[in-house]
Chains A and B, each alone.
Chain A
Amino acid sequence: MVDISTERAAKEGSALQVKEVTKDFPSQDRNNVRTLALDEVSFSVGAGEFVSIIGPSACGKSTLLRLIAGLDFPSSGELRVGAEAITGPNAARGLVFQDPNLFPWLTVRRNIQAGLVALGVVREKRHEVDEFIRLVGLEGFADVYPHHLSGGMAQRVALARALITHPKLLLLDEPLGALDAFTRMRMQDEVLRLWQARLTTMLLVTHDIDEAIYMSDRILIMSPRPGRIDRIIAVDIDRPRDRSQPGFLRMRSDILQLLDLAGQGGMGER
């Protein structure tokens, strides 16, 4: 799998380039002081690659994802998809949040087809909706309202909704963070299956080290205050991965150690 995705990356070039991106916000408590959320963050993601970002809370992971989605703009630096700069939200970049954020007034089917309606192509592509409902295994729940769904089911609807516009890049902001451990592991396989089926480039923000190792080709480790990329780790374990395999566990303890160091007194390692 690693080979395939690297090949894909080589063929299609980088799907996402983040160059020296800095983002600051006006400080909550004091005027004229700006809090630095991201400090000159640079990385790129290859087409078809699965990259995870992990780091302690408040390290700017979600801010970074919002910038890539185009929902927010950097204070300085550059974000590009292929040759184009990111100037605003676009259906080519899907975003799935920790909260599924399903529209409660729409049934499962209508939630999933929301993107088609937004783009005005629902008439031509209505047949795809059933395909996506099947893809996430929600046949029989198409006409149910979201509050009847469990957390895992709701998140699957959110995934289908984000995928129906065929985004080239799917941004996942701790999408499995609110699920119980069992549902979570099942959903990890689900996301991997969707990734392999749809050839979508994935950028996953998570605070779960196992999840990052289990799913990604590469892991970006971020450190907080100000948020920056500490280290990039390539996960060269064959897929499908086994969570109890020695290589997996070794990488897990390496990352844990890294994060501990990053936590103690900040940048000691660097």
Chain B
Amino acid sequence: MKELADANQEKQVDALIEASSAANRRSERPAGKSPWPALLAVPLALAMALGQHGFAAANEPPAEAGLYTYFLSGLLVLAIAALALQPIWSGLRKWMLNTCPLIAAAVLVLVGWELVTSVLHLLPLPYFPGPSGVLLSLVNDRDVLFDSTWHSLVLLLGGYTLGVALGLISGICIGWFPHARYWGMPILKIVGPIPATAWIPLAMVLSPSAMFSAIGLIALAVWFPVTMLTASGISNTRASYLDVARTLGGRRAYLIFNVAIPAAMPSIFIGLFMGLGASFLTLVVAETVGVKSGLGWYVSWAQGWAEYGKVYAALLIMAAFFSTIMTALFKVRDHVLAWQKGVIKW
């Protein structure tokens, strides 16, 4: 009997190892494929970009052309340095094999952009400046852009935190207590779907400052999806988990906080992601119409002066800003829902 048990355990350990190595294998490249196309793609694309820019620079203001040349050259130096380091630094090599095709593609997008704007002049100015113009705006206006990003961050985090806190509380109540469900669900169903931005006229009247109204609007935009998905996650908790918890002597607080909420976590995170998307939208709109700072404000201000280079610069910052926050939330989810790894595919 003992031997049987040992053999069984061994089998289980084998299965564990096999499962984890299968997961690793998925992200590896097929063997036998040459690494050089991936490794050389970035330097080649950068060389192409520099060559074309040298041709385009003649028609551009020297400050603009020079800065873009420095930028591309700097990248090329980095790429060559990485290429030199990768034979001795296996971590870097792995990262490069995985990422370099994407970076090269991004550089080629820059090349194409410059081709249709600065070289061939296919798109009308001032609406479509070349990459060098946008880079110059980015560098020249860096102080204002930094300040705007900071203000946006404060608004966003304030509104998002408030909305998530309220959404979790109302979602848990609606999901768990039948009375809260009876009275709360109609409110949720009627008020929730109204886009938060539609409340802007009311928010401006009610709130003492534009800052407060913006935080309130973002919180409202976040509140709805978080409440909805928290409530559905809680009310869909498997009855057998609750039965088990009750036979273990668990009281209501245990059932809610140690069973229903962890069981609802996957659903709650979907709500958090949806709320984050809604908060970005509401942030930009609120900054455009009310608040006198932030990235949304900067975009409409730059547009008012027809400085489209600044508009694109701000859009680039927004892309980096929002995707960083999104990535941060993904990291939190990966940590909290670590137990799901292997249960579902991410």
Contacts and interface: CB of A to CB of B under 8 A. Distances in A.
Interface of A: 69-71, 88-91, 93-95, 97, 99, 101, 103-106, 114-115, 117-119, 137, 145, 147-150, 152-153, 161-162, 165, 182-183, 186, 189
A55 B262 CA distance: 37
Prevailing SS type, chain B contact patch = helix
B248 A118 contact: yes
Contacts of B1: 186, 189
B301 to A, nearest CB: 47
B12 to A, nearest CB: 5
Interface in B1-37: 1, 4-5, 8, 12, 15-16, 19
A97 B240 contact: yes
A71 B240 contact: no
A149 B250 CA distance: 25
Contacts, number: 92
A85 B262 CA distance: 33
Contacts of B342: 145, 147-148
B193 interface: no
A95 B250 CA distance: 13
Interface string B240-254: 110111111111001
Given A104-B339, A117-B254, A91 B249 contact: yes
B258 A89 contact: no
Nearest to A107: B339
A162 B16 CA distance: 26
A186 B5 contact: yes
Nearest to B243: A71
Query: Closest 3 A-B residue pairs measured CB to CB?
Result: A91-B249, A118-B250, A115-B248
B240 A99 contact: yes
Contacts of A94: 247-248
A150 B249 contact: no
B248 A165 contact: yes
A112 to B, nearest CB: 11
